[in-house]
Structure 1
Amino acid sequence: MATRVVIVPGNGCGQVEQCNWYAWARDEINKKYEGVECILRPMPDPDMARESIWIPFMRDELCCDEQTLIIGDCSGSEATMRFVESYKVHSIILVSPCVTDLGEENEKLSGYYDRPWEWAKMRSNTQSITVFGSTDDPYIKWAEMQEVIDNLNPELHKFHDRGHFEVATFPELIPTVGRRVHQK
């Protein structure tokens, strides 16, 4: 059973309380699931989202461990995937994940994309994996998400009308979190 949920935002979200669905999801999770604490904190280096800074922060400051469900959004998904290559967690939920720097210099400098993804390690270091993605995402082509899906065999929530999930609420996320946190 997970006792902690950590939301790892996408890059560019320095003000996490006002960005997308993050604060709404934190509040819903904290309200609905007794004994589970959902954490949302500003990430260091929010614009570059460098792996060399985010992974230690996730480990040391957010205390991601075997009782933690990590929800990663966009760049937060890539940070989450790299994190579980090295560390065990309870489960992960990836929102709009990708596998390349998308031709963006800022993404390239983050450090997530300069080596092969270690899919087997990711699968062995977590009890369950869920992916939320939308075929009409304006930033990440479906083929990027499909590669994650093909290699991680997650529970998939595929949409055709959600774009990049840049919304104030994300109601489909909450029951998925509930199933995951109660999973032994």
Structure 2
Amino acid sequence: MTIEVRPATVFEDVRTLVGPKRPDASVCWCLSYRIPSKINNKMRGQERGDFVRNLLNDGPLGLLAYEDDEPVGWAAVAPRADTTFARNRKIPHVDDLPVWSLWCIRVRPGHRGQGISHALIEGAVDFARDRGAPAVEAYPLDNQGAKVDLTMAYAGIRKNFEAAGFTHAADTTSTLAGHPRILMRRSFE
């Protein structure tokens, strides 16, 4: 198995990973931290997919992992200033560095447990560094080995980020699926 991580530029592949199964469903598309909640909550059904298609015209929205040209994983990564984390009251700012945020890792069922999330984290680090980021932040669950509901595991888990060289930078007041989230950072300087 060869996993290749590439910028997410192909709408159909993005839809495979973060689009709903039903076109009329008003879920996901990995927009909740990318755009203001007022806009995110207003959009319904196919309008959400159309919004993502238009965003892709401006460049990649993150990264996709491919196994033999089949999209199998997704990572959302962007400058923190361009996300709602810039104003999030539960996730602190460690300093004034123009860091990038990595907030979502998703691996398709049937492809989990094969190291794809690790490849996506490393790909996101490389993607941000190549674009001048001084550091990448993530806000994973500090589940301390407890089982995490896969639907809510999109934020990632602490041990995966530690394995990728991220270190604990701050506690947060955010929780997800009953687990505290922490701010982890990997710096390039």
After TM superposition, the score normalised by the length of structure 1 is: 0.35
Greater relative contact order structure (CA < 8 Å, 6+ sep):
1
After TM superposition, the score normalised by the length of structure 2 is: 0.34
More strand per residue: 1 or 2? 2
More helix per residue: 1 or 2? 1
Bigger-Rg structure (1/2):
2
